[in-house]
Each structure stands twice: as structure tokens, then as C-alpha cells.
Structure 1
Amino acid sequence: MRTFKLLIVLSIISAFKSMLISQDKKGDVSLYKGPIIDMHLHAENNSTLPPEELGLCIPLSNLVPHFDPKQEFGEAWTAALKNPSCKNPMWSSTSFEGYTSKIQSQLETYKVRPVVSGSTPILEEWKQKFSNTMIPSLEFQLERDSIPLDSLRGLFENNGFQVLGEISNQYAGIPPNDPRMDAYYALAEEMEIPVAIHMGTGAPGSPYLFSPKYVAAYSNPLLLEEVLKKYPKLRISIMHYGEPFIDELITMMYHYPQIYVDLGGIQWAYPSDYFYQYHLKKIMAAGFGKRIMFGSDTFLWPELLGKSIDIINEADFLTLEQKADIFYNNAARFLRID
């Protein structure tokens, strides 16, 4: 009888250990904890930070859950940020010191090396704080940034810039295949500079806020076809992966294998279930897991970086190897980092 009871106890202990091991595999083994390259982080300074704290709830698509156009959308947007509806909103900083302190904490906690996009003056401030970790990327928009080609060449040869982007022409109503971009694409191809092009969603209500010329149709990756035929050695990262044109993106990645994409904050712009099911799973199922790069689209709220990482780590359909590719390997290959 004692032997029988002992066998029962041992059986229970064994089952309990198996359960713990199973939980560890689900909770630990599938979590990527190595270094990360964030292909999409925006530099802020005192001139771009809001004068008062603003609270952000995600997903961003539900920030203004409904809207009656008898009201100004800007009023609804501001009200949602001043009085966030979630329990634990992220709060913006009002000073450069407070903001960069939060950024530093996120970078160190998650072992992140960011590609930081911004103007020359702002990136000079960032270099003083993050020169050992950041990869400077020059943001650019036709009409707004009238940079002569020789000056642009000098910035990359002498000022340490390594990426041209975010190219935000979509916000100005300019498609990626606008002929005025040819000279810049040609220079990037000649100098072997990777370019990062905004093609995807902006903030909800963007045309009614700060981008009246924004054109959603310019997210379509098919617009890059003539660009890649003209400049076949150009390295292009499609920021926000041309969302929501997933089928068009897949056919472009199929026919133009130099195209990479970054996730660009879409993981927190929409509910996770939607992002997983209709975006990330589909691109992975098409076989392009070696060309998806992590991007947080962090700007006023540094905590977006950690939340973006968690969303990818919590995708139970991704293997640890696939997460390592998304978080680090693919970007290192795209940027030609040893």
C-alpha cells in the first residue's frame, strides 16, 4: 500500500514538473532576449515636445473610437490625449532631459540599437547622448527639405549619417515614384546608402490634423516598381510595410528580393489580433520572414519601444529563430552590419 501511495506521489510530482517545463517553454524559451535593432525611432527635442503632458492609449486606431464631423477632429484628438481613457496611459515628457532619460532606460532595458530619424540639428543633440548606440538617419521630404545633392552627399560622407529616411513624401501628397526623387535615389544607389520610405498608415485623421495633403493610396508598394527597375541596386526598407496593401507587398517582395520592410509601429496602431492574423502571419506564410525588420515608430512616448517589443515576443506563431531574425538578424544584413 505504501509503495502504491509513493508511486502516486511520484506521478503527481512528475506531472507537476512536466507542467512547469511546458510553461517555461511557452513563457521563456520562445521569448527573444538578445540584442535588438530598431529600424524606426524618431528623434525629439525641446522644439518638438508638447508643452504639457499628453497621455497615449493603444491601440492607436481606438484613440478616437467614434467621431461626428460636426466637431473639429483636432479637438477630439487633443481631448483624447489630455484625458486618456485607459487605466495606464503612457505620458509624454515636457523636457528633453526627461524624454531622453526615458529613452535611455528603454534602450538599456531591451538592449536596443536604434536607427534614429531626424533633422540635422536634432540629431546633433542626440549624438551627444547616444553616439555609441544610435545609427543616424536623415529624414527627408521634397518641398520641405530643399537639400542640394552635393550637400546631401557631404552629410553622408562627413556627418556620420548612415540611412536616408524617413522619406515622408506621402504626408505631402507625393508618391514614392515622383520623378523629383530620381536624383536622390540615384545618389543613394551610387553611395550604397539604404533608404527608408514611409508607405503606410499615419495617425488617425491625419488629413485633418497636420498632413492635409496625405494620400492613403500612396501606401501601395506597387508604386515602387518603376523605381526599382531604374535603380536595381537600391536598398529599400518599406516603413510600415505598405500597410494595408499586404497582397501588393507580397508580390513586390516576390519579384524584387532586395525589398525589406519594417513593422513601423503598426503592431500598436491596431489591436494585436488584427495585426497578427491579417498582416504578420500572412507575410510570414508567404515566406518572407528573412526580410521583416523590427521597427517601433517610437516618438513622444518612449515606452512605445518596450510595448512594441512585447507584442512581437508574444506572437506565439513565431519561433525563437524567426523572432531573432525580426529583432536583429534581418536589419543587420540590410544595414550591412558585421
Structure 2
Amino acid sequence: MKVSVKNNLFLAVCICFLGCSPSTNKKSESSEQKAYQGPIIDMHLHALEENELSPEPMAMCTPLSTIVQHFDPQNDFGDVFWGKAANPDCENPYWSPVTYEEYVERLSNQVEKYKITAITSGSLPATKKLMGHFPDQFIRGIQFRINRDNIPVDSLQSLVETEGLKVLGEISNQYGGIAPNDPKMFPYYALAEEMDVPVLLHMGSGLPGTPLFLNPEYQVAHSNPLLLEEVLKSYPKMRISIAHYGEPFIDELIAMMYHYPQIYVDLGGIQWCYPREYFYQSHLKKLVDAGFGKRIMFGSDMIIWPELIEESIAIINDADFLTYEQKADIFYNNAARFLRLPKD
């Protein structure tokens, strides 16, 4: 009798493991890991003026961190970097458009294919012109940097009230060596809080070698989200998204998101700056595992290579640790809540 009971119990366990569980798990896994195909909000898309396009095609290889794999400081980094942009090492580089018409056409293909609504930031003329091509898909922001762009606070207020400006950002002070808690920024934060206009604040990486050839005042340390603590205490009702999510200060970001639940982040193209597994394991999965999947927003950081939008989307859809619901939150739901978009 005891042998029979043990045999029956063993048989039941085998049936459970070999029969029930695998098929059930397979079905659940399949449904959860399905690619998201709904509408997408891109929180990080740049508008360019025609004269900002290169007259010669420029290549973009991903992941961007490997575009210059080694460098001798006796050389000029700018020469090395632009040399790679003209003669890339990767097999399938993205090439930039050389005319504004081509730029708009290729961008339009991405917008239509992926049902994109985008926050577009850039100069006032650039955003106005691009909004003319995508009046129903794009939301107007403004890219500015204090000490460089002559945009006083009262001018921004007027733009919000009369020009349809909906977002303050991307604010790119980091490239000018200006910390997010610099007192010169406080009047702008006060305006954003008073007018209830969301802020997109650059805190994260630029191009590889940025301080060597593009922006010598750039400070890596200004990516640290801990620098926002005084700001958030002073302006607790301000809506703020950390563009590029303060990469690579993930632990500091997690601590700040825990203590300041008003913080949102956008991916800002960092998903194609580094190899996928590093981005997945050290960045995205860590944020999701910490419980902040409801405050992560999609951002392509598309500048002059429209097809980077497609790659940015694929990287998130290919993340096998994300459920379908988590993908939908990143691609649309979180940004819609942050922006307070009307529900259909």
C-alpha cells in the first residue's frame, strides 16, 4: 500500500510538471512577451532646421558606444569620430538624409508605421516648421540652454500662452556645464510649476567623447539624479521627466524615484547607445525590478536618422523580461498620464 501511494504521488507530480505546467507557462509566456503594436508616444524627438542637415550623408552605427572602440589621445578625437561617420565600420549603418524633404519623408514613414505622437524639441523656427508637417501627431516643446539661448522666463511664459508651447525641454544645460540645481534655473522651474507645464531635463550621456570635441563644458557628474533633490523640494508640484534617465547613475535614480514619486524618466535613445544586454540588465530591468515600470517612458532621441525610431522600438519589444502590459506602459500609458492627454 505504501509503495502504491508513493508511486501514485510520484506519478501525480510527474504529470503536474510534465503535463500541466509547461503548456500553461508556455501559453502565458507567449501572451506576455507579445510585441506591442499599439500607438506610441515618443517623448524625445528633435526638430531640425534645414541648415542643420549635413550636405553629405552621415553614418550612425549602433550600439553607439562601440563606434570608436579605441582611441590614442595623441590624435584629435573629432577627426576620428567624424571619420567613422563618413566611413563606418559596421555592416548596416543608418545614413542621414541630405535634404529637408527627405528628412520629413523618412520621418513621416516612421510616424505612420508606428502610430507615433511625439514631443518635438528644437529651436522655435525648427519646431514650428516640423509641426506644420505633423500638426496632429507632434506636441511642441523647445530645446534651450541658459547662458546660450536668449530665452528669458517671461518670453517662455508668452510662448506657452500664445504659441502653443506645451513642454519646456529638452533643457540641455548639462552640455554647458550647468548643473540641474544651479540657482539660475530656479525661475524656470517656478514658471513650469506655476503654469503646470512639464519639464524635460537632459541628464545623461551625449555622443561618445563629447567633452573632447563638441562640448568641452559638459560634465558627466551633472547626470546624477541626486542633484535634483533641492529642486524637487523647492518645486514639489512641478512635472519633471529626466531625459536619458540620469544614465549611468541607476542606483541614485532608483533612490530618487523611491523618495520623489513625481519623477518620471524617458529612455532618450540610451537603448541604442549601449549593447542590448548591458542596457537590459544594468538599466531597464533594474528599474522595472525596482518597481518603477509605471514611470518609464519611451524616447527615441531621433535627430537626423529617422530609422533609429524603429530600432528604438524593437529594442523594447525584444526585451523578454517585459510583459505586454509593461511594454504598453513604456510605449504609451505612462507618457499619456504624465502629459495628461485626454482619454479617447
Contact 1:106–1:303 (CA under 8 A) maintained in structure 2 = yes
- How has the CA–CA distance of structure 1 residues 75 and 27 changed in structure 2, closer, same or farther, with 3 Å as cutoff? farther
Q: What TM-score, normalized to structure 2?
A: 0.90
Distance 1:183 1:100 in 2: 35
- Which amino acid in the other structure matches residue 184 of structure 1? Y
Q: CA deviation at 1:176?
A: 0.2
1:224 aligns with 2:224: no
Secondary structure of 1:139's aligned partner: coil
- 1:269 aligned residue: 273
1:209 aligns with 2:213: yes
Q: CA deviation at 1:27?
A: 8.9
Matches within 5 A, 1:254-333: 254-333=258-337
Distance 1:95 1:50 in 2: 9
- How has the CA–CA distance of structure 1 residues 29 and 225 changed in structure 2, closer, same or farther, with 3 Å as cutoff? closer
1:181 aligns with 2:185: yes
Distance 1:23 1:89 in 2: 37
Find 2:34's aligned residue among 30, 39, 56.
Answer: 30
Secondary structure of 1:153's aligned partner: helix
- 2:241 aligned residue: 237
- 2:18 aligned residue: none
Contact 1:119–1:139 (CA under 8 A) maintained in structure 2 = yes
Distance 2:279 2:337 in 1: 25
Secondary structure of 1:38's aligned partner: strand
| Deviations 1:166-210, CA, capped at 9 Å, x for gaps | 100000000000000111100000000000000001100001121
Distance 1:293 1:248 in 2: 18
RMSD: 1.8
- 1:46 aligned residue: 50
- Which amino acid in the other structure matches residue 50 of structure 2? N
Q: CA deviation at 1:311?
A: 0.1
- How has the CA–CA distance of structure 1 residues 101 and 212 changed in structure 2, closer, same or farther, with 3 Å as cutoff? same
Distance 1:208 1:215 in 2: 12
- 1:10 aligned residue: none
Q: What runs of 5+ residues in structure 1 fail to find an aligned partner?
A: 1-17
Contact 1:241–1:262 (CA under 8 A) maintained in structure 2 = yes
Contact 1:241–1:261 (CA under 8 A) maintained in structure 2 = yes
| Deviations 1:241-289, CA, capped at 9 Å, x for gaps | 0000000000100000000000011100000000000001110011000
More deviation, 144-153/103-112: 144-153
Q: CA deviation at 1:150?
A: 1.9
| Deviations 1:289-325, CA, capped at 9 Å, x for gaps | 0000000101111111000000000000000000000
Distance 1:23 1:208 in 2: 51
1:249 aligns with 2:253: yes
- 1:6 aligned residue: none
Distance 1:97 1:314 in 2: 32
Distance 2:214 2:248 in 1: 21
- 1:5 aligned residue: none
Q: What runs of 5+ residues in structure 2 fail to find an aligned partner?
A: 1-21
1:195 aligns with 2:199: yes
- 2:83 aligned residue: 79
Contact 1:46–1:94 (CA under 8 A) maintained in structure 2 = no
Secondary structure of 2:286's aligned partner: helix
Q: CA deviation at 1:29?
A: 5.7
Q: CA deviation at 1:145?
A: 1.3
Contact 1:139–1:165 (CA under 8 A) maintained in structure 2 = yes
- How has the CA–CA distance of structure 1 residues 52 and 24 changed in structure 2, closer, same or farther, with 3 Å as cutoff? farther
- 1:109 aligned residue: 113
Stretches (4+) displaced over 2 A: 21-29
| Deviations 1:194-253, CA, capped at 9 Å, x for gaps | 000000011000011211100000000000000000000011100000000000000100
More deviation, 242-251/124-133: 124-133
Q: CA deviation at 1:28?
A: 9.2
- 2:100 aligned residue: 96
Distance 1:28 1:99 in 2: 35
1:132 aligns with 2:140: no
